[in-house]
């Protein structure tokens, strides 16, 4: 694998892969957007001003590389969000899926997780609860009609995010999360997800 995390692949094992070739039994949807599998892709239509948080029923390893491919379909809007929650749990560390939410964005700011966003104007990394800003870049943003290879790495306290092979965010957490789930998040746009993979990173 080329890109900023290629050196990690010697210690990586693929533990989960979704190719969207069948049903969506392994996924839990929260929000108002329309979501369906079409032509081997998960198509999320969140226009206009709708949203979806899409949880994968797979536990994340303590250290992991999470990656997926997403098209931002044209025409887009001012959102075009390609967002990801990782290492999300409930407020007391329980399974994040034990409590259902409406899908409104603020609901995820009060539970533990790391949040990486890419919108039409910027990209950010945050830590929740508290919506703490860890990193911000104005030179990373989503463009309708483009495809994005999203990679999120967490090893020990180091949390990094890359888009299309370029490192966008890096933060070292003194009290890192080590368990939880991931979710794809869309708002005010249409995203088409080709695949999602989780790699466990050995010490």
Output the DSSP codes for 123-138: EEEEEETTTEEEEEES
Nearest to 69 by CA among 189, 202, 191, 173: 191
Contact in structure between 32 and 103 (CB atoms under 8 Å): yes
147 vs 82: CA distance, rounded Å: 10
Structure tokens at 177: 């999360």
pTM of the model: 0.96
Task: Tell me whether the omega of the peptide bond preceding residue 117 falls within 30 degrees of 0, making it cis.
Answer: no
Q: Which alpha helices (DSSP H) does 29-174 contain, by range?
A: none
Which of the four pLDDT bands, split at 50, 70 and 90, describes residue 88?
A: very high
Q: Which residue has the tokens 């991931």?
A: 182
Structure tokens at 186: 């869309």
DSSP 8-class letter at 6: G
| pLDDT above 90 (res 3) | no
Structure tokens at 55: 């949880």
pLDDT (average), residues 162-169: 98
Could you read off the pLDDT of 94-116 as tens digits, one per residue?
999 999 999 999 999 999 999 99
Contact in structure between 116 and 161 (CB atoms under 8 Å): yes
Average pLDDT for the chain: 95
Report all structural domains of the chain as residue ranges with CATH numbers, in order of start: 6-201 (2.60.120.200)
């Amino acid at each position: 694998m080329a890109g900023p995390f290629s050196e990690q692949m010697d210690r990586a094992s693929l533990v989960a892969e979704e190719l969207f070739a069948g049903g969506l039994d392994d996924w839990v949807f929260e929000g108002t957007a329309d979501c369906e599998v079409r032509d081997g892709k998960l198509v999320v239509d969140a226009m206009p001003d709708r949203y979806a948080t899409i949880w994968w029923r797979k536990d994340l390893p303590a250290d992991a590389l999470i990656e997926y491919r997403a098209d931002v379909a044209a025409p887009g809007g001012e959102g075009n969000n390609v967002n990801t929650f990782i290492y999300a749990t409930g407020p007391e560390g329980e399974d994040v899926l034990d409590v259902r939410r409406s899908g409104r964005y603020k609901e995820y700011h009060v539970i533990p997780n790391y949040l990486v966003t890419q919108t039409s104007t910027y990209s950010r990394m945050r830590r929740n609860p508290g919506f703490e800003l860890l990193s911000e870049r104005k030179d990373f943003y989503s463009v309708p009609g483009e495809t994005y290879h999203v990679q999120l790495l967490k090893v020990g306290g180091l949390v990094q995010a890359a888009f299309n092979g370029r490192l966008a965010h890096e933060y070292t957490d003194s009290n890192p999360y080590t368990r939880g789930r991931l979710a794809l998040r869309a708002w005010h746009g249409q995203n088409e997800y080709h695949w999602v993979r989780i790699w466990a990173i050995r010490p």
